[in-house]
Amino acid sequence: MIKNFFKLISIEFQLMLKGSVFSFVLYCLLIISCAIFSLSLKYESIGINAPLCFLYVMIFFISLFKVEKIYSLNFDEAKVHQYILSPFSLEIIVFVKNMMIYLNMIIFFFIFSPLILIILNIDLSYLLKINILLALSLLSIIFISSMTASITISKNNRLSLTSILTLPLFVPILIFSMAITDLIDFNTGRMYLFFVAYFLLNLAFSPLLTSFALKKLSV
Amino acid sequence: MIEVNNLSFARGNTLIYKNVNFKIRPGELLLIQGANGVGKTTLLSNIANFIDPLEGSITYNNLVIDNNIASESFLYIGENNFAHDSLTLNQNIEYWLSIHNVKFNNSIKNKSVNYFFQKLNLDKKFYQLSFGQKKKLQLLLLMLVNKPVWILDDPLSGLDDRTIINLNTLFEKKLENKGIIILTSHQNITLNNYKTLKLI
């Protein structure tokens, strides 16, 4: 079973690589929107907070799009039937998928981040800290997005509206991320722990809720 | 043995079927027939434990079917394709075998591929296949995943004559080995002995 699990991970990784074109397109759109944002504020004196806030909101939307796309492709009814009858629980499959989406998103962010910071006129000395901040918070964003996506792909349109209920779960991430950037040089190790704690909390209930929604709503 | 007692199912306020009863013993095949929309696929979904019935019970070897029993004993092949478009056939086979926790054996895989496809390049992407070939790839699981109960939703549609003959031979072997097959089809199957259930 363990051998098959690793085989499953390796093929999921290949699937993730094949889905990279969509991520690349999304990051290109992010760069364009960052450029528009910077150009519109070129005569204003702005600190690090406004561009970072903009970056965060855009990353949040990109992640949501990415997860929605992967879930609508990989969790259609026929596939969910096979996953339900698999010896691996659907929760494990959801976890593996989410981790692959996370890897895909964060690797692209690491590649694009220097360019994004230059466009947003953020000092490159913040590069590592912003990458760490985003790497930690993106985990929770992906896991919450998976809940949203699993409800959105429901066959029942009225039920898919309930995905709005998951959106407040994103708020703590955005608030804490902005709070960290308020503190000089982000030297707040304890506040980074919030993201780890929040991710662990999400890890506990997100795969359960996601797989429940997939079983009950998309079958 | 699979036993269905007084099974009813409703979608919203619409009753799809009511008081369905049947028993299938090892070595038996049940062909579910009926017009479009009478609930053949829904009945299969009920049996496979994908959806809960409104009333009634379904048991397998006298145990009420739950997720564990379903994943240990049932192999379900639905109407829609489950393969990943962006993967090659080889990768798809490996992926779904690992999902069903089957030990990968190259020679068995090649034999099964030859049985259904005769000659096929396994490095082709899934989306490059025709409808019939895609269907055959799904049916490959029947040969590669060893589970006692097959639940098949219209397995004969889109297949050529030769593949239908091969599939019937596969059904015969399964029944000889005391397996259970439940299937829906608008076509008659060529086996000598099978039960039918007509949904109205």
- pLDDT, average across residues B102-122: 79
Inter-chain touch A82–B96, beta carbons under 8 Å:
yes
Which pLDDT score, from 0 to 100, does residue A23 have? Answer: 92
- pLDDT, average across residues B155-165: 86
Which pLDDT score, from 0 to 100, does residue A146 have? Answer: 92
DSSP for chain A reads -HHHHHHHHHHHHHHHHHTHHHHHHHHHHHHHHHHHHHHHTTTS---SHHHHHHHHHHHHHHHHHHHHHHHHHHSSHHHHHHHHTSSS-HHHHHHHHHHHHHHHHHHHHHHHHHHHHHHTT--GGGHHHHHHHHHHHHHHHHHHHHHHHHHHT-S-HHHHGGGGGGGGGGHHHHHHHHHHHHSGGG--HHHHHHHHHHHHHHHHHHHHHHHHHHHHH--
CB neighbours (10 Å) of residue B110?
11
Looking up residue B36, the CATH number of its domain turns out to be 3.40.50.300
The CA radius of gyration of chain A, in Å to the nearest whole number, is 18
Number of domains chain B is built from: 1
- From the candidates B42, B45, B50, B149, which should be mutated to test the interface with A, based on the most A CB atoms within 10 A? B50
Residues belonging to chain A? 219
- pLDDT, average across residues B49-55: 88
- pLDDT, average across residues B74-88: 89
* A172 CB-contact burial (10 Å; exposed 0-12 / middle 13-18 / buried 19+): middle
Which pLDDT score, from 0 to 100, does residue A156 have? Answer: 67
Q: Letter for the amino acid at B120?
A: L
Chain B residues with CB under 8 Å of A93 CB are 99
Q: How far apart are CA A196 and CA A184, in angstroms?
A: 21
Kindly report, residue by residue over B10-48, the tens digit of the pLDDT: 888 888 888 888 899 999 999 998 888 888 999 999 999
**Interface size, chain A vs chain B, as Cβ–Cβ contacts under 8 Å:** 77
Using CA coordinates, name the residue in chain A closest to B102: A4
Taking 50 as the pLDDT cut, the residues of chain A under it are: none
Which pLDDT score, from 0 to 100, does residue B160 have? Answer: 85
Which pLDDT score, from 0 to 100, does residue A168 have? Answer: 77
pTM for this one?
0.88
Inter-chain touch A85–B100, beta carbons under 8 Å:
yes
Which pLDDT score, from 0 to 100, does residue A218 have? Answer: 62
Inter-chain touch B78–A81, beta carbons under 8 Å:
yes
Q: How far apart are CA A91 and CA B147, in angstroms?
A: 22
Question: Residue A8 is nearest to which of B70, B75, B99, comparing CB atoms?
Answer: B99
Which pLDDT score, from 0 to 100, does residue A216 have? Answer: 79
Q: How far apart are the first and last CA of chain B?
A: 24
Q: Which domain holds residue B35?
A: 2-198
Q: Does the pLDDT value for residue B68 go beyond 70?
A: yes
- Distance set, CA B40 to CA A147, B31, B66, B155 (Å): 31, 10, 21, 13
Chain B residues with CB under 8 Å of A212 CB are none
